A and B are shown apart, each in its own frame.
Chain A
Amino acid sequence: APAIKGDFAPKAGRRVVVVGGGWGGATAAKYVRLADPSIEVVLLEPNKQFVSCPFSNLVLSGVRSIDGLTFGYGGLRNHGVRIYHESASAIEPDTGRVRVGDGYLQYDRLIVSPGVEFQWEQVDGLAAAQDRVLHAWKAGPQTVELARQLAAIPDGGVFVLTVPPVAYRCPPGPYERACQVAFYLKTHKPKSKLIVLDANQNVVSKAALFRAAWKDYPNLEYRASNKVVKVDPSVREVTTDLGDRVKYDVVNLIPPQRAGTIAAQADLVGADKRWCEVNHLTYESVKHKNVHVVGDSTIGLPVPKSGNIANAMGKICAVAVVHLLNGKEPPAMAPGNTCYSWVNDREAIAVVNAYKIEGGKVVQIEQKLTPGQSAQWAQNADGWARSIWQDILG
């Protein structure tokens, strides 16, 4: 591995640096190369493998394995993307540099897609609890560990799942997880129970479809407007803002979220100190020139924080960046979104959003839901996953 000191990869021609090789960043890196192979692309991503959050709820119920959701970055290298498995430690928009440890890289344009960071401080006791309280909201070792804890729950035990206040990554994700946990318990631990403590007033996404699916799960107790403010792993108990204390055998606490730390440090977040506002056509930050932000870290567009949207933003941003580097006006391109959610081991539901560009802004054309749950949508979900994983990494 090259030493990370000084300018550790001096720039010869035009260069785009991408921070984060997840759904948004990996897509952007690939598509800059596809759109103009004369532009060098350097990707910074600490993880050697990509683990898909979509479908990771199925690992909890044992319907899928984590291996089937884990991919290498070889496809991106084949497109000529230079990858350093390192974290960016700072961004210097004034000098056009990204800091990595003791070294730096120079860029002409920077694309930042660091996903979300957790607001540990929002829940009393959470920071100190460390690995004793799992989020499993970034697919990987925590997903596997939570699946293990679920499998080890005593029959008759209580699993508590907590949903953070909006805005958080993947609006339907916690409710899909509730389905998978309830499905597992119903099948393997029939005396056990799932309690969902939701900080929001109602199911945030696909509410009617999820509530219909839950009719199959009498073991699922849903409590709206129950924001968890405290966790104490020594007595296995969470406390809500209403003062209710709830005992658990296994807890899955999904913490409140904000943009990835690097975005906050680089002064890309807005007045809310949580999310990054961007131009709807180019994804350039409204705060710093030549720095673009895509994926879950963004706000202000009428789109959910989904992998499908991060992928769409990555493509649109890549095409825009290539146009800008070639002195051309970027085309107006709107993203699209589809979120499938599995409600058991063989059926899914979906929400689909189409958008257009109007007056320089992303505007929704239509949102459509599946008429119910079925194996057909689950098969389509599988088709979607295969296509989009290839679109990101292939």
Chain B
Amino acid sequence: MTESLAPHFKQPLLKTPFHERARALSQIDSFVPWAGYTTVDVFSTMEQEYFSIRNATTLYDLTPMVKYRVSGPEAMPYLNRLVTRDVAKLRPDRVAYCVWCNDAGHLIDDGTIFRMGESDYRICTAERQIDWLLDSAIGFDVQIVEVTEQIAALAVQGPTSCAVLKTMGLWGVEKLKPFEIGYFMLGAHPLTVSRTGFTGDLGYELWMEPGAALGLWDALMEAGRSRGIRAIGSQALNVARIEAGFLLPNVDFVSAEHTIRTGRDRSPLELGLGWLVDFNKGHFTGRRALLQEKTQGPRRQLVGLDIAGNKPAHNALLYTDDSGKREIGSVTSAIWSPTCKRNIALAIVDAPHFQIGSTVWAEIYLNRELVWERRMSRAQVVERPFFAPERRRATPPAEF
């Protein structure tokens, strides 16, 4: 049961099925709201949690991800109309990363679609949007139900994650290819495992009924004891996802369902997600607008930046040169990459400055013991992801 006992007006945030364990492990009481749940931002130190992602195995509670079950005879045609990718190509027991747009070709959200059966799909996404999903379903023989509270979810990520899952008894998990779904039993509880994640590393996401959550957590902790398993919060994950070049809604883009100002909507082409748009699959929402945009070329694009110096370019404005006269974009996500030892960022940059190899200048403000300094740093537009280890794709994965 995920419902907390206090009424929602006294305690608006729900507790996930893993909350009890997270609360016990939290050393600094750093919790943040996420999609209606209270979740851990940092357990102890962000750095140690981050390095566990790249070195060992980490547990991250992703129960708040919004989940919809889409089923019925026309589930596939419905999804194919909804998203820009060709869902007809998605085989059973496979997962596809997708985006969906409004008629103007502006991004509503991104997420993953799981094909759980012949005509049974699950959408896993960041924002609640039953309103949009139901409007899109007009004329389709399809049922759409939110199942967020019925499914507990835990990301098990890191180079030793496969080994830990095997130790826990998930025989054959090593055979799962990236974006593949496998079904297991943990004691009496069914457990769905997908080889997916938000870290750009070897990793899996585990889906189960809420009643099985604590048992699974304990079994993982036990199995991973000798392999440095550690629970992580959202801050550590954020560093990993920027290295992997993944986008975060409301950070790197705002859903067209939420924008107030004109010009704040983003198309998948602008976000560098053109590879997710299949113009040959027939009609889908936003197709005409996206086709037109493709012909004309996007006006701006989300790119990766490699920035001189070692100070993250948080919220930096970008210019054509170091005089800072002509503004051509801004940074949406920035970190010092602990693995790459590079100062990296995701940024929205106007045409034509978004070409790989272009130079732009970032205006970075540094707080030096309460004295603010402004620095113009040279930055180069580079390929994403910034970090993509081979182990993320190897099947079967290595033991570490």
Q: Do A and B bind each other?
A: no
Residues of A participating in the B interface, judged by any CB pair closer than 8 Å: none
